[in-house]
Amino acid sequence: MTNQPSRVRFEHITDWVFDLDNTLYPHHSNLFAQIDVKMTAYVSDLLQLERDEARALQKELYREYGTTLNGLMERYEIDPDDFLEKVHDIDYSWLDPDPKLGEAIRTLPGRKFIFTNGDRGHAERAARQLGVLDHFDDIFDIVAAGLLPKPAAATYDRFLALHRVAGDKAVMFEDLARNLAVPKRLGMTTVLVVPNNFEPTFSEIWERDTEQEDDVDFVTDDLATFLKTVSGA
């Protein structure tokens, strides 16, 4: 793993692929915290559990199945559309527009994609609030993935096939190292986006993936500056 990005290391890139939550927008905005609370409430209402019990189960499902939604579908056969609508009913004004990031994405050479375990509506609303939506060619969401979340290998294969992306000419930006393991095997350049100043602000210890550092080529706590550096803008 290296923390020294340069233009020459990215000259071959034709496709730029970005996770959404805590990647395109910063972890400290706490936008995903709203979704997390909504998911806990959903589990609580569904199974008539107290909040603490519901949250424990929610995290268990996340760890075992990749997403809370996937776990709820597997164990309780819930309606995914109902879940996605309810947990993404949040206040997007928590996000500050980021003109610097928007300009950095706009000037990237090649195609740009959002690849998220959330749904398209959530991705569009968040990216629009950030001021970056118009700079993307498409959004690959959990529905396009057949409801199979990252880090499932089949989901990355589906994305690459749908958009005719060559792994060795693409780069993936993620806030979770475990979601970079498959891209790394597919030949993609991998970039881990971490909180500002590399501070350990994650609220859940299980979000850390130190055992997968070999899957990470670069680390940045300033996405806009990183993109400007590697694109030569």
Is 213 a domain residue? Answer: yes
Residues 102, 20: one domain? yes
Model pLDDT for residues 17-28, shown as the tens digit of each residue: 999 999 999 888
CB 145 within 8 A of CB 159: yes
> What is the dihedral sign for C-alpha 192, 180, 126, 87?
negative
Phi/psi at 24 (nearest 5 deg)?
-70, -40
Give the burial class of 104: count Cβ atoms within 10 A of its Cβ; 0-12 exposed, 13-18 middle, 19 or more buried.
buried
pLDDT at 196 (0 to 100)? 76
The answer to the question of residue 208 being in a domain is: yes
- Average pLDDT of the chain to the nearest whole number: 91
pTM confidence score = 0.90
Asked if residue 2 belongs to a domain, the reply is no
Q: What is the pLDDT of residue 203?
A: 42
- 32 Cβ contact list (under 8 Å, min separation 6): 21, 22
State both tokens at 199.
């501070």
Q: Tell me, yes or no, whether 3 lies in a domain.
A: no
Number of domains in the chain: 2
Say if 170 falls within a structural domain.
yes
Q: Is the pLDDT of residue 205 over 60?
A: no
Backbone dihedral angles phi then psi of residue 58, each to the nearest 5 degrees: -55, -45
Q: Does 207 score more than 80 pLDDT?
A: no
Number of H helices, E strands in the chain: 9, 6
CATH number at residue 81: 1.10.150
Print the domain residue range for 44: 32-87
Which run of H or of E encompasses 54?
helix 51-65
Q: Are residues 132 and 195 in the same domain?
A: yes
Q: Is residue 81 located within the same domain as residue 136?
A: no
One domain, residues 192 and 82 = no
Q: What is the mean pLDDT of residues 75-90?
A: 95
Whether residue 39 sits in one domain with residue 22:
no
Does residue 177 lie in a domain region?
A: yes
Cα(210)–Cα(219) distance, integer angstroms: 13
Q: Is the pLDDT of residue 140 over 90?
A: yes
